[in-house]
Chain A
Amino acid sequence: MRFFSSQHEFEYSWDEVTTCNWRKYCPWNDKSTHVIAVDTISRSLDPKTHILRTERLITCKQAAPALMKKFLGSEDVSHVFEVSYVDLRAKKVTMFSQNLTWSNLISVQEKVVYRPSRIIGCTTFEQSAKIIALCGGWQKVKNTIEEYTVERFRQNAVKGREGFERVLAISREAFAEQREQSRRAQSA
């Protein structure tokens, strides 16, 4: 079993971060190019609590090194299932995800939380993951698979954060431009 965790402060409001989170993997994110599709599977709004629950399917394409191909096969497309909860009253977004592909060999469970930071106008991002090789056999093989997976997870997390920073920056610019246009249109 391996654990991974990271924390980051985004210098954007919780509203901005949670809005952009829905398009974290849009073309403005030029880092997370391994994410090739994001589909929404289900979405529901609880009328009493105002909690928004969303299920998404994330499709990735990332070639595995030769050593890993021995264990995982040559398939390089994989799927991740994600369930998220937006609690507007608590100002908290919680996202859980789990791998669908190779799930008989390895389990990768991730939890992400977005909350307003103590610094006004900023948002705290907390990420944690648990990686367990499930296949039978030598401990050495399991260790190899876990080491490889946690390292790739770490690399993708860095790319994800950098790519998301870019999405946030471009969105803010686009939004400001839009506001400026409508202001001009009104005063014209």
Chain B
Amino acid sequence: MSASLAPECNEVKERYDTCFLKWYSEKYLRGTAMSDECEPLFKEYKACLGKALKERGIDTMLDEARADMKENDVEHMKPS
């Protein structure tokens, strides 16, 4: 797995990534995923990462980029 930009989050990130990859290949791709089962781990990882992003001032850059790319959601979230 890849590292986190915040070394203090590496351990929880590794656990989350492993969970997600297993879920993606064994459930999501087979069409049997009802929900994202790794969400509890993701919350833990997100709490750690959120702090690091704020400290580095990346959170505001992300908000701007997210707003710029919002229009892609319209096309790519609609049912095919």
Contacts and interface: CB of A to CB of B under 8 A. Distances in A.
Interface in B43-80: 45-46, 49, 53, 58, 61-62, 64-66, 68-69, 72-73, 76-80
A151 interface: no
B69 A45 contact: no
A127 interface: no
Interface in A15-69: 15, 18-19, 22-23, 25-26, 35-53, 55, 57, 59
B66 to A, nearest CB: 7
Contacts of A39: 4-6, 9, 13, 49
A51 B76 contact: yes
A interface: dominant SS: strand
**How many interface residues does chain B have, given as a range?**
35 or more
Contacts of B31: 50, 88
Interface of A: 15, 18-19, 22-23, 25-26, 35-53, 55, 57, 59, 79, 81, 83, 85-90, 92, 94, 96, 98, 100-101, 103
Nearest 3 Cβ contacts at the A-B interface = A90-B80, A38-B2, A37-B5
